[in-house]
Structure 1
Amino acid sequence: MTITVLQREPGEFWWGGVINEGHLMPFGEGTHSRDIRMTDDNQAAPLLLSSRGRYIWCEEPFSFNFDHEGYLKIDHEQKLDIEEGHVNLQGAYLHASSKHFPPSGDTPDKLAFTAPQYCTWVEMFYEPTQEKLLHYAKSIIENGMPPGVLIIDDNWMQDYGTWDFEKHRFPDPAGMIASLHELGFKIMLWVCPYVSPDSITFRQLQRKGYLMKDADGTPILRRWWNGYSAVVDYTSTDGAAWFKQQLDRLTQDYGVDGFKLDAGEPILPSLHNDVTQEVAWSRPLLQMEDCQSYAELGIGYSLSELRMSWKLGGQALIQRQRDKAHAWDAGGLGGLIPNAIAQGLMGYAYNCPDMIGGGLDGDINSPDFHFDSELFVRSVQCSALFPAMQFSMAPWRVLNGEELSWCMDAVRIRTKLGPLISELASEAAESGLPIMRSMEFVYPQQGYHMVKDQFLVGDSILVAPVITKGQRSRVIQFPEGRWLGDDESIVEGPVRLEVEAPLSRLPWYRKL
């Protein structure tokens, strides 16, 4: 292990590492430590970016520490690539992107940017059916919302690892998907790398050697949120090819458009009967390379959504933030903007907040669940101009009256600006530039580095959602230029201005 020490320059701030810590960024004032060598905490990259045009990259993960004395200490095994002289945050990002995670030239299907996504999770949990799906899709349209990407979540399949529709709940999946296509939807299916250990698929994969094994050759069983399962060895050529074959068959046989690849955390050694079980990988791996290998399974499909990723900036993959709570703090609504800014700076331009209103809180349809309609409306507004937005709770079921109409207003803003977001997605595929940008990224070294509750879409749209309960006005920091507001006001920047923001309003401004 090697320790490299850098001194922080005056006025220098840093971003990078794990995107779920976006609310703690930028680093530089005070202390912060993070070990990204075995993170299972959302997307990550072995990258740190400086507001003074410096960046640090390593092919393997490292740990870092900012101390009170202005030093950055990095523990690493492989050589660091440390570059200086790129002027500002954007310069450092663009140089790191072109060298280490160049844009692929491809984008996800443009429907992901022009219309909302709709996930069945909250409305159906583990009980999706063909009848429910068709009803849900028709309800979306009947309630005035545009058709978009429809994600069929967990338990559509026969079993974990047996990736075909359960015939009793889905008697005609090809016909169902054809009907959904006719309504204007694109279809994604939830999948994961786990295999039920008492299934025929498990026995077949065990014979072929396609499962992850421990040192004695026994398939490992890993505990996850739905029990204990074997794991497809997607780090091996044969295991990855088998998994891709299942996905390809679903696209060919049923017309599926893409996949929500859930899980994908790094597989760590486990403790069994007081004995540590190491994974006997099929080939030598760098740390976190298994996480990267799983995420790579999504490359090549017109729609792929991931919640775990490693070193795959620049690829045409939708990167969803980790599950959020139905809460106002950084574990819920308060974390969306800073984490999305961090996603963009790690090269994950096609980012998506979690399900609007949050989906982490167990059975949120339970009578014991406390639903906050104000939080839901503000979540819709905050998500409306992200690169992608995703509903799961049906707004027309949980809202009514004015609150429902305000939600629909935010969706109409999305529809209006969807073509611009789509254009920026195409630009990201060629230049690597994030779609959603921080103030510091576009207006460097002007004192905007700590602004984490507003953002820019490209360089021309300033978005300032309300993310605090009960707030009906907010301060917006306008950079240089003339800005035309959604309320027809014109603001001359640079200026710090308090504006009215009733629950009915998502404040956004276009640069003239």
Structure 2
Amino acid sequence: MNKWIEFDLLPGEVWWGGAVHDGPRMPYGQQTEAPVGADLRNLLENSGAPLLVSNRGRYVWLHRPFTFQFQTGRLKLETEGEFDQLDPLEEGHGDLKGAYLHASRNYFPAQGRMPDPMAFTTPQYCTWMEMHYEPTQEKTIAYAREIIRNGFPPGVLIIDDNWMKDYGTWEFHAERFPDPKQMIDTLHEMGFKIMLWVCPYVSPDSQTARALAKQGLLVQDAEGRTALRRWWNGCSAVLDYTYSPALAWFKEKLDLLVQRYGVDGFKFDAGDPTGNDPEAWVTSYTWRSSNVPNEDCAAYSTLGQHYPLSEYRASWKAGGAPLMQRLRDKPHSWGKDGLNSLIPNAIAQGLMGYPFNCPDMVGGGWDGDLQATPFDAELFVRYAQCAALFPMMQFSTAPWNVLDASHLEYCQAAVRLRTELGPEIAKLAEHAGTTGEPVLRPMAYEFPNHNWETVSDQFMLGSSIMVAPVLEKGAEERIVRFPEGAWRGQDGTLVTGPCTITAAAPLSTLPWYRLEK
């Protein structure tokens, strides 16, 4: 039987939390009549946490998924079974920063580690948009050489889907990658570090699936048979990550790739606790150690903690872990599902305990969008500028393949800014690994009690850099709001806050400012 509890909101109180993809709807609590909320049993292909945190120093944490709803000055929580405690509302922590840090220390403390610094000091490059399901050794080396030839620095290089023999058979496909050790040695010599795409699925008619089924390592359906899950690339069996032998089996396969070939880490894709079949996944499948689908996702996240480079798109209760967290795949668009979602999603992600966050790949990850005519080079540049001062920056579509010379130069300038500030961003990541603080922060986190809560088109990088990307097509200027203090612009100008100005921002320019001490 479901249980529910309600709380009155304080005057001016707003909240963040729940599911990362709902970032554009945050902060919650400003509405009067129409109810707004979410059901955290279905995270819709992204990360989440059973956490809500408020600008008035309050937060809610439950250990299991819950449904929440804000309406007419009240917050209603509903969960299956009993609440973890009689009163799940924690109060008295001053402001947004105070509430977040108290929740972090108590429920998802920082582990004192961060991903490999290269994830922050230079851009990352993924083969997905250039090679789709046809990566090869020859193409991968050629892609790396093109990165350097076109003036981009070497960084983390991710070899995406279909490098392997089959889903669940994590060995290099011999025809496409005849000498993976030689390939990775060559890429290392060029200055790259290498990650491989993996997923929790196993091709159901394979020898691997049959062996895993005999060992009881696969998720089962209601009849006790191997469950089959439909996902974007087929219908597969799923490893039961709530069962420690299944985790150990996969870790052994990954460790062999590290030992034999020098692989530096892994892109852990999928792992969505529900996805497109939430009701079936909740009611029809069984796990060894939990009846909560999100816990399967949480267990999947523990695998990545063994490697210095581990990227996740779907996570649950993985706050404080040294994992790279990429936002859900974005279309190549200006809208609230594309470029305009990046900042509010990243704000939400940081406030759920995921400080090492990465926007989706520059230009988007949906290949059909990039086939549009005419191609929107302006959007590509603005996307690169927005991502440049995120905790991480990642390319897939090669800019030199889709941009003319002038737009390519603007993109290269964004990357030069990234590499210039990379060591500073890496220090912020190191701080996050120790304290749990977000690297990318909402304005209200650093400047409480000054009505910054609804500002979601500019952000703080740490406590002293303010970034205000251009997010509208055709815009060559934008309104920038400044907190109190002296702010030095990227062009050397000095702005004394608090104030609001209209800043010049031609396509060559990313407006950003440093608070002078």
What TM-score range do you get, normalising by the shorter chain?
Answer: over 0.9
Q: Aligned match of 1:473 in 464, 477, 480?
A: 477
Map of 1:4 onto structure 2: 5
Give the counterpart of 2:468 among 459, 464, 467: 464
Instruction: Note the 1:340-419 alignment, pairs <5 A.
Output: 340-360=346-366, 362-364=367-369, 366=371, 368=372, 370-419=374-423
Q: Do structure 1's residue 260 and structure 2's residue 280 form an aligned pair? A: no
C-alpha distance after superposition, 1:454-475 (max 9, x if no partner): 0111011111000111111001
Tell me if the contact between 1:314 and 1:429 (Cα under 8 Å) persists in the aligned partners.
yes
What's the TM-score, normalizing by structure 2? 0.95
Preserved contact between residue 43 and residue 275 of structure 2 (Cα < 8 Å):
no
Classify the secondary structure of the residue corresponding to 1:297. helix
Q: Which residue of 2 aligns with 1:84?
A: 91
Letter in 2 for 1:282: R
Shift of 1:209: 1.8
Contact 1:49 1:56 in 2 (8 A): yes
Q: Which amino acid aligns with 2:322?
A: A
State whether residues 17 and 47 of structure 1, in contact with CA within 8 Å, keep that contact through their aligned partners in structure 2.
Answer: yes
Where does residue 110 of structure 2 map in the other structure? 103
Q: Which amino acid aligns with 1:484?
A: R
Check the 8 A contact 2:331/2:369 in 1, yes or no.
no
1:316·1:350 contact (CA, 8 Å) conserved in 2? Answer: yes
Distance 2:486 2:305 in 1: 41
**Cα distance change, pair 277–104 in 1 and its aligned pair in 2 (3 A):** closer
Structure 2, gaps ≥5 residues long: none
1:279 and 2:297 correspond: no
1:333-387 deviations in Å (ceiling 9; x for gaps)? 0000010011110000000000111112x44564x55521000000000000000
Conservation of the 8 A alpha-carbon contact between 1:60 and 1:287: no
Does residue 302 (structure 1) correspond to residue 303 (structure 2)? The answer is no
Amino acid at match of 1:25: M
Counterpart for residue 39 of structure 1: 43
Output one character per residue of 1:106-142: Cα deviation in whole Å (capped at 9) or x when no partner.
1000000000000000000011000000000011011
Deviations 1:258-292 (A, max 9, x none): 100111011589799x9997223212344511111
- Using structure 1 for the length normalisation, give the TM-score: 0.96
Aligned length, in residue pairs: 508
Match in the other structure for 1:435: 439
The offset of 1:37, in angstroms, is: 2.2
Residue 494 in structure 1 maps to residue 498 in structure 2: yes
Rounded Cα–Cα distance in structure 2 between residues aligned with 1:105 and 1:249: 26
Distance 1:185 1:247 in 2: 19
Of residues 209, 216, 235, the one that matches 2:216 is 209
Aligned AA (1:8):
L
Q: For 2:141 and 2:276, how far apart are their aligned partners in 1? A: 43
Does residue 1:289 correspond to 2:295, yes or no?
yes
Paired with 2:378 and 2:462, the residues of 1 have a C-alpha distance of: 28
Are 1:291 and 1:310, in contact at CA under 8 Å, matched by a contact in 2? yes
* Distance across 2 between alignment mates of 1:27 and 1:40: 19
| Residue 145 (structure 1) aligned with residue 152 (structure 2) | yes
Q: Match for residue 28 of structure 1?
A: 29
- Hey, what does 2:175 align to over in structure 1? 168
Tell me how far apart the structure 2 counterparts of residues 275 and 413 of structure 1 sit (CA, whole Å). Answer: 44
- Give 1:73's aligned amino acid: K
Work out the CA distance in 2 between the residues paired with 1:322 and 1:270. 17
1:338 maps to which residue? 344
Change (3 A) 1:231 1:74: same
Any conservation in 2 of the 1:269–1:277 contact (CA below 8 Å)? Answer: no
Residue in structure 2 matched with residue 328 of structure 1 by the alignment: 334
C-alpha distance in 1 between matches for 2:189 and 2:284: 49
For residues 119-158 of structure 1, the aligned pairs below 5 Å read 119-158=126-165
Q: Structure 1 residues 220, 269: CA separation in 2 closer, same or farther (over 3 Å shift)?
A: farther
Percent identical pairs in the alignment equals 55
Q: Which runs of 4+ in 1 moved over 4 A?
A: 267-272, 274-277
C-alpha offsets along residues 367-415 of structure 1, whole Å, 9 cap, x if unaligned?
x555210000000000000001100010111112211111111101101
Q: Which amino acid in 1 is paired with 2:254?
A: L
Matches within 5 A, 1:62-81: 62-67=66-71, 69-76=72-79, 77=81, 78-80=83-85, 81=88
Q: Tell me by how many angstroms 1:216 deviates.
A: 2.8
Match of 1:503 among 478, 501, 507: 507
- After TM superposition, give the deviation of residue 483 of structure 1 in Å: 0.8
Aligned partners of 2:282, 2:395: CA distance in 1, in Å?
41
Q: Would you say 1:14 and 2:21 are equivalent positions? A: no
